[in-house]
Amino acid sequence: MRIVLLGAPGSGKGTQARLISSKYGVVHLSMGQMLREEVENGSQLGQRIAPVMHKGEMVPDEVINPLLSAQLEGLPAFVLDGYPRSIAQAKYLEALLSSWGQVLNAVFLLEAETELIVERLSGRRVCQVCGKTYHVNFYKSNRCTCGGKLTRRSDDRPEVIRNRMAAYRQSIRPIREFYDSRNLLYQLDANRTAEAVYTDICHILDEQILPYIEWEKEGDD
């Protein structure tokens, strides 16, 4: 099963990806997380992309695409969050998978109101160990349930949130049309709780995606 999650920053992609990954046993790949790790490790690449990420701007494709390719190669099943963020990236992913004889099975677009997103991101805290997210209004401790320290992402500041939202709004329409034309797109109302969105995703995967993959596999045997 190969899945892509699309949506504005704060629409819940990371949360849904973690839930899907643990239920269906597929690898969760978060492009943003991969990049943040490069920055935290202080690698040469990390030093180059840190200022771009700090401003909430897009990291160039010549950096992103080789990282993606290295992570995806040989993976039979994944849920990808944070990629693609442009039509060029969508085409790159399609060509990459096709070169391995693979295709995507589903693309979920999480749609949420801008005000809700700004409110979610400005109170968001992320566990440094497991990546789980919390909101300061609903969780008062500064430690995750796993014991990890909760911190604020450096790009979750109001002025940077605005940049990230602008980048998202500019790019999403052609990406949506691209996946719609390939009959892969499922649009979900992400103004609801994470549980409600997840229930819908599982329903679609169980009823419409997995039986089809099983059926294709039988055809191959």
Residue 58 binding ligand AMP, by CB under 6 A: yes
- Asked if 53 is part of the footprint of ligand AMP (rule: CB under 6 A), the reply reads yes
* Residue from 5, 28, 72, 83 in contact with ligand AMP (CB under 6 A): 83
- Choice from 109, 155, 205, 209 touching ligand AMP (CB under 6 A): 155
Q: How far is the CB of 138 from ligand AMP (least distance, A)?
A: 21
Q: Residue 112, SS3? A: coil
- Dmax over CA atoms of the chain, in Å, equals 54
| Residue 143 annotated as catalytic | no
Distances (CA, A) of 191 to 33, 173, 197, 202, 208: 23, 19, 9, 17, 23
Catalytic residue among 132, 153, 176, 192: 153
Least Å distance, CB 186 to ligand AMP, is: 19
**Shortest distance (Å) from residue 160 CB to ligand AMP:** 8
Nearest to 29 by CA among 21, 40, 37, 39: 21
Where does this chain bind ligand AMP (CB under 6 A)? 9, 31-32, 35, 52-53, 56-59, 64, 82-83, 85, 89, 155, 164
